[in-house]
Amino acid sequence: MKEEFSALLQRKMTARGFEKLMALKNEKLFAFIGEYVELCDPDTVYMCDDSDEDAHYVRRKALEAGEEKKLARDGQTAHYDGYGDQGRDKANTKFMVARKNLAQMGNLNCVEYEEGLAEIKRIARGIMRGKEAIVKLFCECPTMSPFSIACAQITDSYYVSHSEDILYRRGYGHFMQMQDKDDFFRFLHSAGALDERGCTVNLKDRRIYQDIEDMTVYSLNNQYAGNSVGLKKLAMRLAIKKAAGEGWLCEHMFIMGCQNREEGRTTYFCGAYPSACGKTATAMLPGETLVGDDIAYFRNLGGEFHAANVERGIFGIIKDVNPKDDPVIFNTLMQEKEMIFSNVLTGPDNNPYWQGMGIETPKEGTNHSGPGWFEGKKDADGKMIPLSHGNARYTIRMEYLENLDPNWDDKQGVLVGGVIYGGRDSDTSVPVEESPGWENGIILKACTLESETTAATLGKEGVRVPQPMANLDFISYPLGQYIQNNIGFVKGMKKAPLIFAMNYFLRDEAGEFCTHKLAKKVWLHWAEQRVHGALDALRTPTGLIPAYEDLRRLFREIFDEDYPEADYRYQFTFRCDAWLAKLERATAYYKANVPDCPAMAYKTWEEAIEKIQAAKSEFGALIPPGAYK
């Protein structure tokens, strides 16, 4: 251990804290902590282990410092981020890349490595003076498992450390036992200077830089958890790069268990959906079980496709969580358990309230704009301030959920039977379609994924936004190579999962959605039975779709409702012209933006276009289900 850091850390830590650090016998960890304690210069450093005592200390200090405040229900607290710091800062979130490698990063947001590191060190120098730094160790995925990635975090925010303790597995014991002492992710965070509300003020110096070579994240002058909780989407970018070099995958997917009670089995699905395309609604379907809601690691274990949940908790958008649409989450949020609400309204009764809550809400209170909010209050630009921020969040542990799958923390993960890619379009894709094979599914379903904008969000309805793999914001190396790695991942496996495309947003001729919100449960259960070879399917030019009688039976069994054949025929008609336009858009997008796109992708799209054109010549532009052979 470096002697200079030893003297520094002994001066800043308690004897017990320094003893806990030294017990790990990890030179790389010691050097990381020493270097950034020296640079950031906190008054004191608190070293955590896995004890509840240390977790309680952080939680208590968050309250004492005003970073959180107690709510009426025991265990619940509220946190507020400052204006301008209530969402992800994409512009200042950059990859640090050596000059020689910058060209191959394409249009990813990058900064030259030495330039970026110098900038970080300039901003970080002395940034923690007058504060206490918290050092806490975590593990992504179950500890001491094939999926585990150790993580070390230094932060001067008790709120951030508290959030991470809810969201991730404690890792001190894992650090003690792990074999490769050098293999861990590192995170440095500082909220920087704070105002009277405890909110970050130096937003001009907000930086979220990711060193994907040395596996380190630097996050400065911010508090919003999407920027400051490094173990979430920032670590996801590190993991995607790490996975590329080690032969596994990190994906922006839920993991859930589909319950076939008649057969007494659970079949696990993973699903990738762009924002507002049904990801959470699918993961939390009533009657099914949840393994993870956001990020999955995939590994080949013994020739089988296994997935593990990276996280221990959920950092979820709270807007529109209500008793009707999200009963499991809503009921959980009413419990007296340890959880954090961020940027919601705190009413006169000291309870949290949010937009779309489904119950009557107060007309005044404290919210993301500060104390003294009232209904009709406007901001400096004359815009109405809603009772809660549109990106307000809840932070809870998975263990609170009544639908938690019993295998959610299994060290071997779960065996995956199917992978779902869900997009959003009103006039092209059928509600559910199975790909004829893994490679075809990645290229034809995942790579061509799109999300259709609505008038409510962008002011112009019907614009198709490319969303390759529903992971574009987090891919940390060239997209073409990433696609190739996804295609090749199943090579040598005993059985690859089936790939399904789902679309919950098809509209009828009157412009209304074709099915109710819970119809997705039928599409999921059809997919579950296909995984086990229990049902036949009908061919289309791009895959396989359900037969009417099978869906009719499932609607009756699951909802005790009729499913008219006329509805089926409309919903599962193959729309040749719309599909041709979709594939033309995909081809143009990849030619313009992905110079390393695999040749097999273009070949697959060309073959699909030829097949659709031939089918159109034979059957017409609209091919009813069962007509194509």
Percent of the chain with pLDDT over 70: 98
Among residues 151, 199, 258, 277, the one annotated as catalytic is 277
Of 147, 129, 103, 149, the C-alpha closest to 43 is: 129
CATH code, 251-313+408-623: 3.90.228.20
Q: Is the pLDDT of residue 462 over 90?
A: no
pLDDT band at residue 461 using 50, 70 and 90 as cut-offs: low
* CA 42 and chain centroid, separation: 32
Q: Mind listing the pLDDT tens digit for each residue in 125-155?
A: 999 999 999 999 999 999 999 999 999 999 9
Laid out side by side, the sheet with 76-79 consists of 69-70, 76-79, 339-342, 393-397, 313-317
Average pLDDT, integer, range 403-409: 98
Helices (H), 467-598: 479-488, 520-531, 548-559, 565-571, 576-593
pLDDT of residue 456: 45
Average pLDDT, the chain: 95
Beta-strand ranges (E) seen in 246-288 are 249-251, 254-260, 265-272
Furthest CA-CA distance within the chain: 81
CATH code, 3-246: 3.40.449.10
Average pLDDT, integer, range 18-38: 97
Domain boundaries along the sequence of the chain: 3-246, 251-313+408-623, 316-396
Q: Is the pLDDT of residue 460 over 70?
A: no
Q: Mind listing the pLDDT tens digit for each residue in 353-394?
A: 999 999 999 999 999 998 999 999 998 889 999 999 998 999
Q: Is the pLDDT of residue 458 over 50?
A: no
Q: How far, in Å, CA of 483 to CA of 496, rounded?
A: 16
Average pLDDT, integer, range 477-482: 94
Q: Is the pLDDT of residue 40 over 80?
A: yes
pLDDT band at residue 115 using 50, 70 and 90 as cut-offs: very high
Superfamily (CATH) of domain 316-396: Phosphoenolpyruvate Carboxykinase, domain 2 (2.170.8.10)
pLDDT of residue 301: 98
Of 21, 58, 44, the C-alpha closest to 165 is: 58
Q: Is the pLDDT of residue 276 over 90?
A: no
pLDDT band at residue 454 using 50, 70 and 90 as cut-offs: low
Q: Mind listing the pLDDT tens digit for each residue in 214-237?
A: 999 999 999 998 899 999 999 999
Of 578, 574, 590, the C-alpha closest to 541 is: 574
pLDDT band at residue 2 using 50, 70 and 90 as cut-offs: low
Known catalytic residue at 277: yes
pLDDT band at residue 197 using 50, 70 and 90 as cut-offs: confident
Say which residues have a Cβ less than 8 Å from residue 179's Cβ, sequence separation at least 6: none
Q: Is the pLDDT of residue 38 over 70?
A: yes
Q: pTM of the entire structure?
A: 0.95
Other CB atoms within 10 Å distance of the CB of residue 447: 26
pLDDT band at residue 1 using 50, 70 and 90 as cut-offs: low
Average pLDDT, integer, range 91-115: 90
Percent of the chain with pLDDT over 90: 89
pLDDT of residue 103: 84
Q: How far, in Å, CA of 607 to CA of 605, rounded?
A: 5
* 3-state secondary structure (DSSP) of residue 38: helix
Q: Mind listing the pLDDT tens digit for each residue in 531-586?
A: 999 999 999 999 999 999 999 999 999 999 999 999 999 999 999 999 999 999 99
Q: How far, in Å, CA of 477 to CA of 411, rounded?
A: 28
